[in-house]
Structure 1
Amino acid sequence: MQRIDIAEKSTGQARYGIDFEMDGMLHAAVQLNPYIGGDVKSFDASAAKSMRGVRDVMAVTGGVAVVADNTWRAFQAAAAVECDWGPSPMPATMEEHWQAIQDAFSPDHQDSRNRDDGDVDQAIGLTSPINAEYRAPYVAHAPLEPINATVLASEDRIDIWTGTQVPRFIQADLAKRTGLDADAIHVHVLMIGGSFGHRLELDVVIQATEIAMTMKGTPVKLTYQREQDMTHDYTRPAAIARGRGQIENGQIKTFDLDIASPSVLSSQMGRLGISMPGPDSQIVAGAWEQPFDIPNYRVTGYRAKPLAPISSWRSVGASTNAFFHESFFDELCAAAGADPMAERLRLCNDAPTRKVLEAVADMSNWGTDLGPNRGRGLAFCMSFGVGVAEVVDVTKTPDGIKIDNVYVAADVGRVVDPVNFDGLVKGGVIWGLGHAIMGEITYTDGAADQDNFDSFESMRLYQAPEIMVRGLENGPKIRGIGEPPVPPAAPALANAIFAATGERLREMPFNRFIDFV
């Protein structure tokens, strides 16, 4: 089945939120406090108000807005506003961010222990354990369509045109802010030019509504510049994992993984005024639910204090936790002298997962010698009820690591649309590989250091490997494939690099430690 929207998207005819227009519409831009979470102490808009086409300047949540007769004039005038910004409540350095996460590894910060098979502590005490620590950084969503919203307000009704994943949340939030009934808030969902979780957030809609409420009867479109979107994103949380393991007679006998990060659910839902009681499942998602019968098997989540504002990012907790889990699994296999595929199959307790592993082994000709300066890595992750196994082949060249091939097997119960299934899997693999190699947001004094695609890069076409995909239909029910291909990509690549070079990568992004073609 071919998608009917591809031709319009490929020829520039598709109408996204940023393309939306209305008669009499004005355009807004914002200057945001660069120090995340800080307020606006004061501002001087005299220079901006004197510029051509400017209609008004006002304070909004997180910054100052300018309304003008076109987008460019609004951008220029917003930059001319002189602002006195309040400081960010965030830690001043990345070292302090990482230390705060390290400090969460304590009993009073324990959030969950969903997996606790056997007796890990007793088993570890019988021998010298294998230890490893892993890190995953903050990363941005960076959708290609700039964040935007158009709002038309009247005395008894508000209309919003935007690309969003949560129209009902917009209704509920704006009803509280404006005093109108939720039925008076009309959200017109437009085509989304990428989200990856970003358009779960309401900031641009809230600001556009604040502006429109001062200009009732006039539609106003607020558009973020790329730099504002990048520096004020609600990122994937930074996380740290500590692994302890034990091997015996060439087999994995003990697997103990501690994971610490701030709570995505608390941060995201807190912005909506919703309290989330109990543990945050995403701190350990993609780690504790893996279908392996390791005799002593424990996964513990620790909740770090709030740091940077964070949100859901494609595959959420599994995007980091699969890297932790599958990297450590590979380290234990190496220490045991066990084949990573054979050891997973030996420990596998789920029939559909076994078929996924067997399928990817068949696709990749697992076990064959690739030759000198080449390596092959395997990773598996059960996330969102979907088991995905990925094998990555790499070559070590004088210019760096080249990713040659990726083989993916996934069981979704029923592959309803093979064409779109194939596209979603390949897109997820590229997303996972690109961010593993070069994705990172860092903060200095509460301000993001990366502000555009020159400093927050994505995988380029020439770097992309050939990707082979096989969909399996052994599991029950129909399940989604939008997120599950992402988590195994990073650990499969890291494990392949170890096989080719002997260098173990325990922290993303990988290009901080090794060169890529």
Structure 2
Amino acid sequence: MASVGKIARRTFLIGAAAIAGGVAVGYYYYRKPFANPLEAGLGKGEATFNPYVKIGADSAITIVAPRAEMGQGVSTTLAAMVAEELDVSLDQVKVEHGPASYAYYNSGIMEDGGPFAFFDESATAEAVRSGLLVVGKLLALQGTGGSSSTRDGFDKMRQAGAAARQMLIAAAAQSLGVAAGELETLNGSILHKASGKSVTYGDVAATAAANAPPAEVRLKDKADWKLLGKPQKRVDMLAKVTGAPIFGIDVRLPDMLYGTVKMSPRFWAKPVAADFSKAEKMPGVVKIVPIETNYGQGFGIIAENTWAAFKAAEAIEAKWADPDYPLDSAAIDGVLKRALGEKGSALRDDGDVDTAFADAPRERIVEAGYAVPYLAHTTMEPMNATAQLKDGVLDIWCGNQAPTILRQLCANQLGIEQDKITVHTTFLGGGFGRRIEMDYALYAAQIAKETGGRPIKVTWTREEDTRHDAYRPAAVGKFQARLGDDGLPIALDIKLASPSVIAGVLRRLFPSVSPIGPDKTIVDGAFDQPYTIPNYRVSGNAAPVSIPAGFWRSVGASINGFFHEGFMDEIAVAGKIDPVELRKKLMADYPAALKVVEKVAEMANWGEALPPGKAKGIAFSLSFGSWVAEVVQVADTPNGIRIEKMWIAADVGTALDPDIIKAQLTSAAIYGLSAAMSQEITFADGAVEQSNFHDFDAMRIFQCPEFEVAVLENFHKMGGVGEIGTPPAAPALANAIFALTGKRIRSLPLSKEVTFA
């Protein structure tokens, strides 16, 4: 298997050939199945049928759900896919993450990476999607992100369960001397009702696994589902509520050392001078070592306990070189605005926008500028990793969203082969895109070179975490609409600018790969929305700011959801049209969008007469294949604006676990509301100014609104879940504040303009 970096470069270079179906590049690799990684670690009496299923002679069933469990419930839903077809209940199985392996590649994360809206089902769009699925197989990235886990796993994991079940039935038929068609399965047993004979899965597992898998796999009809489509008890919940040591920060190993890092506060800047004398004399400090990776430079502290490492890091006195980006937020904003003024790449260009505006009366023009700041992820579990390098072999324990990338980068960092590295993926105490980055793992691996074979757990302080993130980038937008005589827009021109997330990620993860073409994440959530406007242009520019930008929950849609839906509200006001009615008129060609707007309006009793001091706002966003509308109700109180209630309607196509979907919609909305209310990352002297929750806070429990959530299944394709509730949250809140106060707020956080109770 070629390295990911080499495949990525080759794939980008041949571009159109890969899109055409993989004939020109690696077709053999595309068709060839990956080896089953479970075969190497089977226990006594245990058999494996494919990379997702192990069954012991005692009928113990293990299902591998190879996506990061970070609270979103993915381990439950993926396991339910296998269990459904295996005809067992979830309480009969053990669920594991599984090893780092190409067999667990996620091609779904690539499928909608082309410049097409989700609802675009033209021959060209579908050809590109098919080609990107091929690219996904060639890249073989085992990653969790893009709200893609259930979409990617829906076929392959059900097929894994169904194939295992068919193999077990075939083996049972041979054992019992009956025809396979006369056998039934139930809760881990195979029954022959005519004779009353039966065997357990464990009785025939070894024989079944030794046979070839079936040429044709038969999946259950949706009408026959017992688990899928219904709420399931979370398989991760017992460990979490009982405080089991399941997170990376819980790892304990014999003879373990402890450490932390002190990285340059100016990204990419090298140390000019450093004084370790105070730190090295502190009790419990073992050694201070240099760190240099794709993420920058700094120092690692090795100590006998974490507190000693933290105090020694504080005692290091260092001076750092100047960064290659502007030193403060005002200067960064200037770069963004200059980029906004340049001609951008248009990913949507319907009609003739320039002509539509050429003769527009001034009173028919609506214009506005929008802006959002940098944002940190601030996961509740700070970054950490435990590493042991002994006899040229690395074991590393951490929560991560991309085990194969972690393995490859650690191999590159240490100069060893990937087969000498074992990645132990723990549960994640929050991810949101932060743990697809690999800095915490690389630092631990490099520090482990200096411990003489002893394991070391490297834990970041909250301050180090907040100030060394891969941030959601700051962004600016310029919006212009021309209204017709009926108040509806006949032309819309959107210009967007932000630093490139894709270029930033490639610099850190695959520095040998250069990005090709425009970064779609800059315009996601704006160019791909289901609004019919005759003349509609959306263009974007990458602003040259090298502060690390990364994947943050819902990525570009989190930015452009606020921009686009805030401006849609402005169009409604200028055109004297109710905001819900405006959306319904413009979405008439897209029934899925129309139905979620109608549903959320019905839920919220939109249009009712509210008492003085209360108001509602609405917003919509299509992201990651799901259609979501949200309404927020706010109230004016003596202590400030109180967010009273939020209604959410989401069409996910196929709802595999309604309760998990509702929980994720609520979670994502709270994440979006938190950012909208008070969060921002600012810069001074080249460094991040915020450091902890006191100056980068999240919504508190007493501020949280009541939620009412409806899950719809109207669209014919399955959508994602984990991120989709975030994009509409900020604009719904801002639009409600306008309805309440008459104040149109076009930049975040909103707390700069209003006070929240």
TM-score by length of 1: 0.97
Q: Which residue of 2 aligns with 1:346?
A: 585
Query: Is 1:285 the equivalent of 2:520?
Result: no
Distance across 2 between alignment mates of 1:307 and 1:152: 32
Alignment match, 2:244: 13
Verify the 8 A CA contact 1:2 1:419 in the aligned structure 2: no
Asked if 1:317 corresponds to 2:556, the answer is yes
Which stretch of structure 1 is more off in the superposition, 490-499 or 69-78?
69-78
1:235 aligned residue: 471
CA drift at 1:89 = 2.4
Deviations 1:92-150 (A, max 9, x none): 22111011001112445x2x312111211111122222110000100100001011011
Deviations 1:394-428 (A, max 9, x none): 11222211111111100111111111111101101
Matched-pair contact (CA < 8 Å) for 1:401–1:515? yes
Q: Partners in 1 of 2:715 and 2:340 — Cα distance?
A: 36
Conserved 8 A contact 1:91-1:307: no
Q: Any idea what SS the aligned residue of 2:699 has?
A: coil
Of all paired residues, the percent bearing the same amino acid is 42
Q: Where does 1:180-259 land on structure 2 (aligned, <5 Å)? A: 180-249=416-485, 250-259=487-496
Paired residues of 1:267 and 1:306 also in contact (CA < 8 A): no
User: Any conservation in 2 of the 1:327–1:494 contact (CA below 8 Å)?
Assistant: yes
* Cα distance in 2 between the residues matched to 1:215 and 1:397: 58
Determine the structure 2 residue equivalent to 1:298.
537
Match of 1:80 in 2: 315
Using the TM superposition, give the Cα deviation of residue 84 of structure 1 relative to its aligned residue in structure 2, in angstroms. Answer: 2.6
Supply the distance in 1 between the matched residues of 2:469 and 2:266 (Cα, whole angstroms): 12
Once the two structures are TM-superposed, the CA of residue 490 in structure 1 deviates from its matched residue by 0.4
Q: RMSD of the TM alignment (CA)?
A: 1.3
Q: For residues 201-242 of structure 1, what are the alpha-carbon distances to aligned partners after superposition, in whole Å with 9 as ceiling and x for unaligned? A: 111111111111122411111110000000111110000000
Counterpart amino acid of 1:253? Answer: I
Q: Which residue among 685, 691, 708 is the counterpart of 1:445?
A: 685
The count of aligned residue pairs is 515
Q: Any idea what the Cα deviations from partners look like across 1:332-381, whole Å, max 9, x if unmatched?
A: 11000011111111111211111111111111111111121221111100
Deviation for aligned residue 1:65: 1.5
Measure the CA separation in 2 of the matches of 1:7 and 1:397: 40
Match of 2:298 in 1: 63
Q: Distance in 1 between matches of 2:546 and 2:497?
A: 13
Cα offsets for 1:439-489 (capped at 9, x unmatched): 100000111111000000100011111111000001123322101110000
Q: Secondary structure at the match of 2:340?
A: coil
Contact 2:482-2:489 within 8 A present in 1 as well: yes
Give the alignment partner of residue 397 of structure 1, picking from 634, 637, 640.
637
Distance of 2:427 and 2:488 partners within structure 1: 51
8 Å contact from structure 2 (residues 332, 545) kept in 1: no
Aligned counterpart in structure 1 of residue 617 of structure 2, from 377, 402, 417 = 377
Aligned counterpart in structure 2 of residue 158 of structure 1, from 390, 394, 406:
394
| Residue 25 (str. 1) matches residue 256 (str. 2) | yes
Report if aligned partners of 1:151, 1:220 keep a CA contact under 8 Å in 2: yes
Q: Distance in 2 between matches of 1:288 and 1:429?
A: 22
> Partners in 2 of 1:106 and 1:512 — Cα distance?
26
Letter in 1 for 2:331: E
| Amino acid in the other structure paired with 1:211 | I
Whole-Å separation in 2 of the counterparts to 1:89 and 1:44: 24
**C-alpha separation between the residues in 2 aligned to 1:371 and 1:247?**
32
The C-alpha deviation readout for 1:160-195, integer Å capped at 9, x for no partner, is 111000111111112222221111121110110001
Once residues 307 and 402 of structure 1 are traced to their aligned partners in structure 2, the CA distance between those partners, rounded to angstroms, is 38
Q: Residue 42 of structure 1 aligns to which amino acid in structure 2?
A: A
Instruction: Tell which deviates more after alignment, 464-473 or 13-22.
Output: 13-22
Equivalent AA in structure 2 for residue 377 of structure 1: G
Residue 248 of structure 1: how far off its partner (Å): 1.7
Matches within 5 A, 1:18-57: 18-57=249-288
**1:89·1:446 contact (CA, 8 Å) conserved in 2?**
no
Partners of 2:744 and 2:245 in 1: how far apart? Answer: 45
Q: Pick which of 387-396 and 175-184 moved more.
A: 175-184
| Alignment partner of 1:268 is 2:510 | no
Residues 1:101 and 2:336 aligned together: yes
Deviates more, 1:116-125 or 1:334-343: 116-125
Q: Larger strand proportion, structure 1 or 2?
A: 1
Shift, 1:88, TM fit: 2.5
Is 1:126 aligned with 2:365?
Answer: no
**Distance in structure 2 (CA, Å) of the matches to 1:409 and 1:104:** 36
Aligned to 2:662: 422
Shift of 1:434: 0.9
Taking the aligned partners of 1:484 and 1:437, their CA distance within structure 2 comes to: 19
Shift of 1:37: 2.4
Determine the C-alpha separation between the residues in 2 that align with 1:168 and 1:150.
17
Structure 1 stretch 97-106 or stretch 17-26: which is displaced more? 97-106
**Structure 2, unaligned stretches of length 5 or more?**
1-231
How far 1:292 sits from its partner (Å)?
Answer: 1.2
Deviates more, 1:290-299 or 1:316-325: 290-299
CA distance, structure 1, for counterparts of residue 457 and residue 324 of structure 2: 30
Please tell me whether residue 511 in structure 1 is matched to residue 751 in structure 2: yes
**Is residue 485 from structure 1 mapped to residue 725 from structure 2 by the alignment?**
yes
More displaced 10-residue stretch of structure 1: 501-510 or 181-190:
181-190
Q: Indicate if the aligned counterparts of 1:152 and 1:216 stay in contact, CA closer than 8 A.
A: no
Residue 114 of structure 1 aligns with which residue?
347
Structure-1 separation of matches of 2:409 and 2:428 = 21
* Offset at residue 22 of structure 1 (A): 0.6
SS in structure 2 at match of 1:100:
helix
Alignment of 1:125-144 (within 5 A): 125-127=358-360, 128=362, 129-144=365-380
* Aligned amino acid, residue 494 of structure 1: A
Contact 2:414–2:446 (8 Å) recurs in 1: no
Name the SS for the 2:424 alignment partner: strand
The answer to whether the Cα contact below 8 Å between 1:88 and 1:445 also exists between their aligned partners in 2 is no
| 1:468 corresponding residue in structure 2 | 708
Q: Mind listing any 5+ residue stretches in structure 1 that lack a counterpart?
A: none
Q: Secondary structure at the match of 1:271?
A: helix
Q: Is the 8 A contact 1:105 1:260 kept in 2?
A: yes
Give the secondary structure class of the aligned counterpart of 1:401: strand
Where does structure 1 differ by over 6 angstroms across 4 or more consecutive aligned residues? none
Partners of 1:69 and 1:442 lie apart in 2 by 35
More relative contact order, 1 or 2 (CA 8 Å, 6+ apart): 1
